[in-house]
Amino acid sequence: MNPVLALRIEWCKAYSRSRRWHEDLVLVEEEMRRTIEFGKWSERRWLEWAGAWTVMLGTTSEISPEVTEGVRAYALEQVDHERRTWEALEKDWGPLRRRAAKYLKGDDISAEPELVVEVDRDALRWAETVEHDHEEGENDMYQ
């Protein structure tokens, strides 16, 4: 094969890979942003529900104050859970997202220090277990 043609083919393959990697970076960054935003929205929603349930259940004479208090406590526990989750994600993903933003703007990141991302192996094992619990093609949402 002609060496120039072989070089052109390799260049095209490398360029195609770099474009796919760029697209993947855009998609992953957007997924991380949306995950954090959903956590913030969910926290606000649970807080609204805590107030709404307290008012709604408090006006019903058939519901004891203890039940009303329990429902409010549960909702506030969910608020705390959502806040801790999105704050942890924001903290863990922050350096990666800042690096991605620089790269996507076209800034040179070659001088940046190496970025190490810790992986929670227990969470990873749990996700793999959940993924394989269902037969291929099954979807609980539609059953």
The verdict on residue 52 lying in a domain is yes
The verdict on residue 82 lying in a domain is yes
For tokens 């705390």, what's the residue? 80
Q: Which residues of 21-142 form beta strands (DSSP E)?
A: none
The verdict on residue 127 lying in a domain is no
The total number of structural domains in the chain stands at 1
The verdict on residue 53 lying in a domain is yes
Please provide the size of the chain in residues. 143
Range of the domain at 96: 33-107
pLDDT at residue 139 in the model = 52
Would the pTM count as exceeding 0.75?
no
Give the span between the Cα atoms of 85 and 125, in whole angstroms. Answer: 19
Give the span between the Cα atoms of 47 and 58, in whole angstroms. Answer: 16
Give the span between the Cα atoms of 71 and 53, in whole angstroms. Answer: 7
The token pair at 124 is 């990873």
Between residues 109 and 41, the one the model is more confident about: 41
The verdict on residue 25 lying in a domain is no
pLDDT for 65-124, tens place per residue?
888 888 889 999 999 999 999 999 999 999 999 999 999 998 988 888 888 877 777 766
The verdict on residue 81 lying in a domain is yes
The verdict on residue 5 lying in a domain is no
DSSP state of 106: T
The verdict on residue 20 lying in a domain is no
